[in-house]
Amino acid sequence: MIARAVVVLLLAFMTLPTVVVVVASVNPTEMLAFPPSGFSLRWYEHALTYPQFRRAAVNSVIVTAASAALALPIGTAAALALVRHPLRLRGFWTAVLLSPLVVPGVAAGLGLLILAARLGLLANHAVLIAAHVILVLPFVIRSVMVSVANLDPMLERAAASLGARPWRVFRMVTLPLLRPGLFAALLFAIIVSVNEFVVSLFVSTRVTEILPVAMFTYVVNYTDPTMAAVSTLFIGATFVVVFAADRLLHLSRVFQIDTHR
């Protein structure tokens, strides 16, 4: 009984901010208020037509897609090397590749900002994408490493003995069997990249900024419920992506149980 009550309280505590934002987004007046004084979707209309949000949403898609597309192959190669090859200083390399997890975003952002300014790349998506690749890599590497560790090297030897060249072994055996790890890595990459704020704030301009940065800029200047509407849309979109990915992941898990006897 008590346990159940604790769980309910915990769930309420964890979902409270979301609920407040969603409810506040339908307030008809020009103030962020809770509870709302009525029901209106005008702020949704405003959010969806506000040019800076539209531009930022497109930027988010570009940056997230590009960083995931880069981080996945790089992270997979790194995971294979870290698990499979008897590297000297393996611990050191692992630490370096996972370090973005512990370096404060402000520090990383500042470093990238200085570097980008020096190279004259500030008005470019490239810096933002590079930053996201760095931030996403630890998650990708971690996920793929688990799958690599579970992959029986004898399968690759078997394929080689049957006449498969190294890249064919990779294509026909290694890659398909890493699929669960790659799905998880992709999911992490999308979530981390889409929500990344601190580092992005440092290295983006008005033209390249992604949605979280645009939202921050808006809330600094305005106090109407548009922010709450954008947040709700953002939460909804993330939910859809995560749910879809989890369905895929779930399928692949079933597939994996099937494969491991």
For other proteins, the binding residues (CB under 8 A) are 152, 154-155, 157-166, 168-169, 172-173, 176-177, 255, 258-261
Give helix 211-221 / helix 179-195 axis angle, nearest 10°. 20
CB atoms within 10 A of CB 178: 22
- Nearest-approach distance from CB 254 to other proteins, in angstroms: 12
The phi, psi pair for 32, rounded to 5°, reads -75, 115
Find the shortest distance in angstroms from Cβ 233 to other proteins: 38
Note if the bond before 35 is cis, omega within 30 degrees. yes
CA–CA–CA angle 32, 37, 41 (5° rounding): 70
Q: Which is nearer to other proteins, 137 or 151 (CB)?
A: 151
- Residue keyed to tokens 């600094």: 220
Amino acid present at 122: L
Instruction: Write down the least CB distance from residue 98 to other proteins, Å.
Output: 28
**In angstroms, what is the minimal distance from the CB of 161 to other proteins?**
4
Query: Nearest approach, Cβ of 153 to other proteins (angstroms)?
Result: 9
Which one, 20 or 162, has the nearer CB to other proteins? 162
Q: Give min distance, CB of 245 to other proteins, in A.
A: 20
**Which two tokens mark 196?**
């990344």
Minimum Å distance from CB 252 to other proteins?
11
Whose Cβ is closer to other proteins: residue 3's or residue 89's? Answer: 89
DSSP three-state, residue 253: helix
**Token pair for 189:** 């990459």
CA dist., res. 253 & res. 183, Å (int): 10
Asked if residues 131 and 199 have their Cβ atoms less than 8 Å apart, the reply is yes
Burial 76-115 (b: 16+ CB within 10 A, else e): bebbbebbeeeeeeeeeebeebbebeeeebeebbeebbee
Nearer to other proteins, 104 or 176 (CB): 176
CB of 4 or CB of 85, closer to other proteins = 85
Q: Which is nearer to other proteins, 90 or 168 (CB)?
A: 168
Nearest CB to other proteins, comparing residues 45 and 152: 152
Q: How far is the CB of 251 from other proteins (least distance, A)?
A: 13
174 burial (CB, 10 Å; 0-12 / 13-18 / 19+) is buried
